[in-house]
């Protein structure tokens, strides 16, 4: 893990799957069911699908050459199985401490906004975040910077005052495109090699490591106005 970040960090933008929640097995089951309904017999190519996690589901289908019709049963099954998703150990205490310190928190996910907000409500942790943004709510999903820039606008912070924590290359590229510190989370099931090859600004091996990266709590630092930016 890198040492403490220079400057003042006022906000943290989190990816969802693989960072806040362990949803890998639920995604596997939902994808297999949806694939069977639309494509019929044959093994669902989940290993290939998993290489694109972090992207918006319709984009993954396009990349894989699969029909868009798979999305409807996939989303249906994802809602049905939401109660089986778990929050990663250490994430709850981390979010509580970040809230206590007064940091502004948002989620920027490859999921749709309604599905992400529903999942976090089911898990009882939606209240930790000021904003939960889905890829259907910005012009361009990750790896474009739009979703991170939108989070910064909503939170009212400058890019230099924020970090993005993600477990996919698309997260890191989205963060860097927005001018935000790109932090790799390695506690999920994803292959760490592509993340490390992307040379993130910092690497976290457990959620609590983020506190060391951010440094000691700041009792009173005057807020800065958000920087103006051009529309994408």
pLDDT tens-digit series, residues 51-75: 888 899 999 999 999 999 999 999 9
- Is the domain defined by 11-22+86-214 classed in CATH 3.40.50.1000? yes
Q: Is 128 helix (H, G, I), strand (E, B) or coil?
A: helix
| 34-63 CB burial, b ≥16 within 10 A, e <16 | bbeebeeeeebebeebbbbbbbbbebbbee
Alpha-carbon torsion (196, 63, 51, 116), positive or negative: positive
Q: Is 202 helix (H, G, I), strand (E, B) or coil?
A: strand
pTM: 0.88
- Per the DSSP assignment, residues forming a β-bridge with 185 are 204
pLDDT tens across the length of the chain (232 residues): 456 776 789 999 999 999 999 999 999 999 999 999 999 988 999 999 988 888 999 999 999 999 999 999 999 999 999 999 999 999 999 999 999 999 999 999 999 999 999 999 999 999 999 999 999 999 999 999 999 999 999 999 999 999 999 999 999 999 999 999 999 999 998 889 999 999 999 999 999 999 999 977 655 444 444 444 433 3
Query: How is residue 68 written in tokens?
Result: 């868009």
3-state helix/strand/coil string of 56-108: CHHHHHHHHCCCHHHHHHHHHHHHHCHHHCEECCCHHHHHHHHHHHCCEEEEE
Indicate left, alpha or beta for 28 from its phi (over 0: left) and psi (-120 to 50: alpha). alpha
């Amino acid at each position: 893990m890198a040492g403490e970040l220079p400057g003042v960090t006022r906000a943290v933008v989190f990816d969802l799957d693989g960072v806040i929640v362990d949803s890998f097995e639920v995604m596997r089951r939902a994808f297999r069911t949806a694939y069977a309904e639309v494509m019929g017999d044959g093994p669902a190519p989940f290993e290939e699908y998993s290489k694109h996690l972090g992207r918006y589901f319709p984009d993954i289908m396009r990349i894989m050459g699969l029909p868009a019709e798979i999305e409807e049963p996939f989303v249906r099954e994802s809602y049905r199985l939401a109660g089986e998703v778990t929050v990663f150990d250490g994430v709850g205490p981390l979010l509580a401490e970040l809230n206590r310190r007064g940091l502004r928190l948002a989620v920027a996910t490859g999921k749709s906004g309604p599905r992400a907000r529903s999942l976090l409500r089911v898990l009882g942790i939606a209240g930790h975040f000021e904003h939960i943004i889905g890829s259907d709510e910005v012009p361009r999903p990750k790896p474009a910077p739009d979703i991170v820039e939108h989070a910064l606008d909503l939170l009212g912070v400058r890019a230099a005052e924020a970090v993005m924590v993600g477990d996919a290359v698309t997260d890191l590229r989205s963060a860097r495109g927005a001018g935000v510190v790109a932090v790799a989370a390695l506690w999920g099931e994803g292959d760490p090699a592509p993340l490390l090859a992307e040379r993130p600004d910092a690497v976290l091996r457990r959620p609590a490591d983020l506190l060391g990266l951010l440094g000691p709590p700041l009792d009173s630092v005057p807020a800065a106005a958000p920087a103006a930016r051009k529309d994408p």
